[in-house]
């Protein structure tokens, strides 16, 4: 037993981070050195209800409570003690989406997640009006689409927030949001650190004829920077989080953040000229800019770090889901032969074998579109594997094509940043499921972005650890250091992870693959038009 960890927990000095991911809710408890000492998790899945992706309010609370109970069980098992109080708590979740509430705190329509692509008309109209790329998944797109659809609930809105903002509100009573998550609701003005007043005014003018009972700034969360106090756990909040009743009220909370912000923190990528790539169910890259881009691009979203620096984000709805589905076929085949299955071994063998394939995948192409992909203009997805009779169809090329596909759309977006905007980056760090098999996902991503990629030992800790670190920044920094300096000095202490640089052959091969991929997009478009 780690007696230091036990005494940290019993003294109420541990810090809790909880992140709602798309397939898992994860809790991480960290000590005074910012190292994980216990964790809990809960698996969940989104539901397609009336054509929209959602998670029910009941699932959100069951997930949170079961995840926390799992953490408690881990603490009891490891340290034979209970969590009674904490130094800080942080809540993080998938960004964007639409959670609208009335004055009785009732949700007006089921939570609409980032995954929905029904907001095309609204996003296009707002992008034109704002002269700023407004993505389909942003909260303002969801709100305006509901207005364009004449949905009756809109007049009753008294609060509009994200998933992280909702959970934080219920735990503290505070209607606030970290600037990174807020920048995925409505554009942020870099000078004021608040929602863009120009865009708020333009939106108000657009909707003025509707004569709603609210103004936009009245229904949005207050924007906070990393390190600012975002309220305290209320007695009701404590009961909602820990149904066993052990956790006491009064714990301070840091501003709730989106998964993009916590990914930046967990990879020490909040400084200018750093970046990170998160690759799991979906993927996104975040490059912290020295200056704003020369013009808006439909493929690139402008958001911020948790302390307010401009970030160019390329977000892809699809990453490893289709790849995992193919790997599961090999698992079924192994079971059919009566061979015991170790999924880590299956992934390891197939991923490493992919590196033996041709650098251009022998002409094979994969489209991993389980759902729509806004970057390539697809409103719906149809997973496709494409080859001609003359292509080199073997297992290594097959696996390599699917690995390339998992970051193919990411490459298309980042090519704009590096080739057209000449953005400079000193370090890109990878994290997420794609990097679990050592060296493989890293090498593929290095080839895609033509940039060295680092992976840290802590990469597997992910966003729950990232939001715990933001809790630590609130509890332990006392306003002395900037967030970037706090991470450098107090968390990572010079650790930049293991770096892999791209080889010229891999870069050339990926470029050839992506040209084929772009030429073949009409095949994917035709598949989407075909309704089964």
Segment 445-494, tens digit of pLDDT: 999 999 999 998 765 567 899 999 999 999 999 778 999 999 999 999 87
Residue 389 lies in a domain: yes
Residue 78 lies in a domain: no
pLDDT of residue 459: 52
pLDDT tens-digit map of 288-346: 998 889 999 988 999 999 999 999 999 898 999 999 999 999 999 999 999 999 999 99
Structure tokens at 62: 């069951």
What residues contact residue 193 under an 8 Å CB cut-off, 6+ apart?
A: 179, 223, 225, 308
Angstrom distance (rounded) from CA 97 to CA 95: 7
Angstrom distance (rounded) from CA 406 to CA 279: 8
pLDDT of residue 203: 98
Residue of 426, 445, 437, 460 whose CA lies nearest to 500: 445
pLDDT of residue 354: 98
Residue 26 lies in a domain: no
Residue of 268, 288, 240 whose CA lies nearest to 417: 288
Residue 232 lies in a domain: no
Residue of 66, 63, 59, 68 whose CA lies nearest to 16: 68
Strands 176-178 and 47-49: unpaired
Q: Helix, strand, or coil here: 48?
A: strand
What percentage of residues in the chain have a pLDDT greater than 90?
86
pLDDT of residue 323: 96
Residue 310 lies in a domain: no
pLDDT of residue 320: 93
pLDDT of residue 458: 62
Residue 171 lies in a domain: no
What residues contact residue 339 under an 8 Å CB cut-off, 6+ apart?
A: none
Boundaries of domain holding 327: 321-408+504-529
Angstrom distance (rounded) from CA 287 to CA 272: 8
Please work out, in degrees rounded to the nearest 5, the angle formed at the alpha carbon of residue 207 by the alpha carbons of 203 and 210. Answer: 165
Residue of 304, 130, 102, 303 whose CA lies nearest to 219: 102
pTM above 0.75, yes or no: yes
Max Cα separation, the chain?
Answer: 68
pLDDT of residue 504: 97
Residue 509 lies in a domain: yes
Strands 274-279 and 427-431: parallel
Rounded-to-5 percentages of helix, strand, coil across the chain: 45, 20, 40
- Residue 352 φ/ψ, nearest 5 degrees: -65, -35
pLDDT of residue 291: 85
Which residues of the chain fall below pLDDT 50? none
Residue 425 lies in a domain: no
pLDDT of residue 460: 55
Q: What is the signed CA dihedral for 311, 178, 198, 312, rounded to 10 degrees? A: 10
Are 382 and 367 contacting, i.e. CB atoms less than 8 angstroms apart?
A: yes
What is the domain count for the chain?
1
Instruction: Report the Cα 9 to chain-centroid distance in Å.
Output: 29
């Amino acid at each position: 037993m780690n007696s230091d960890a036990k005494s940290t927990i019993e003294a109420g000095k541990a810090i809790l981070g909880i992140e709602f991911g798309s397939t898992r809710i994860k809790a991480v408890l960290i000590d005074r050195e910012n190292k994980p000492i216990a964790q809990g998790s809960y698996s969940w899945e989104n539901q397609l209800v009336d054509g929209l992706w959602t998670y029910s309010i009941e699932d959100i609370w069951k997930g949170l409570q079961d995840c926390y109970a799992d953490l408690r069980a881990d603490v009891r098992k490891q340290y034979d003690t209970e969590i009674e109080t904490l130094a800080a708590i942080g809540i993080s979740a998938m960004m964007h989406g639409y959670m609208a509430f009335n004055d009785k705190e009732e949700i007006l329509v089921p939570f609409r997640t980032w995954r929905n692509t029904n907001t095309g008309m609204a996003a296009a109209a707002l992008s034109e009006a704002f002269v700023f790329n407004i993505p389909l998944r942003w909260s303002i797109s969801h709100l305006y689409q509901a207005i364009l659809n004449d949905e009756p609930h809109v007049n009753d809105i008294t609060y509009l927030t994200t998933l992280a903002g909702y959970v934080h509100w219920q735990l503290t009573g505070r209607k606030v949001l970290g600037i990174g998550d807020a920048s995925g609701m409505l554009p942020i003005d870099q000078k004021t650190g608040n929602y863009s007043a120009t865009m708020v005014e333009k939106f108000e003018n657009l909707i003025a004829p509707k004569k709603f009972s609210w103004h936009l700034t009245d229904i949005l969360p207050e924007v906070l920077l990393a390190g600012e106090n975002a309220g305290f756990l209320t007695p009701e909040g404590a009961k909602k989080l820990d149904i066993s009743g052990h956790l006491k009220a009064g714990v301070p909370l840091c501003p709730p953040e989106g998964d993009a912000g916590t990914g930046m923190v967990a990879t020490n990528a909040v400084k200018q000229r750093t970046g990170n790539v998160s690759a799991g169910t979906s993927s996104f890259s975040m490059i912290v800019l020295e200056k704003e881009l020369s013009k808006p691009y439909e493929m690139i979203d402008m958001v911020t770090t948790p302390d307010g620096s401009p970030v160019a984000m390329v977000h892809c709805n699809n990453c490893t889901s289709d790849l995992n589905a193919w790997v599961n076929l090999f698992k079924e085949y192994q079971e059919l032969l009566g061979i015991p299955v170790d999924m880590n071994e299956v992934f390891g063998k197939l991923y490493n074998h992919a590196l033996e394939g041709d650098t251009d995948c022998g002409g094979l192409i994969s489209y991993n579109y389980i759902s729509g992909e806004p970057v390539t203009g697809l409103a719906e997805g149809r997973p496709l594997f494409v080859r001609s009779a003359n292509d080199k169809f073997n297992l290594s090329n097959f696996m390599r094509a699917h690995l390339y596909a998992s970051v193919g759309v990411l490459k298309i977006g980042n090519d704009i940043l590096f080739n057209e905007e000449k953005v400079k980056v000193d370090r890109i760090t990878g994290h997420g499921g794609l990097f679990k098999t050592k060296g493989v996902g890293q090498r593929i991503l290095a080839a895609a972005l033509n940039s060295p990629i680092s992976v840290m030992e802590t990469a597997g800790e992910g966003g729950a650890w990232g939001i715990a670190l933001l809790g630590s920044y609130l509890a332990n920094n006392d306003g002395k250091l900037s967030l970037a300096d706090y991470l450098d000095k107090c968390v990572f202490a010079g650790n930049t992870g293991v770096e892999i640089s791209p080889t010229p052959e891999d870069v050339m091969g990926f470029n050839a693959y992506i040209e084929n991929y772009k030429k073949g997009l009409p095949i994917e478009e035709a598949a989407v038009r075909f309704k089964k």
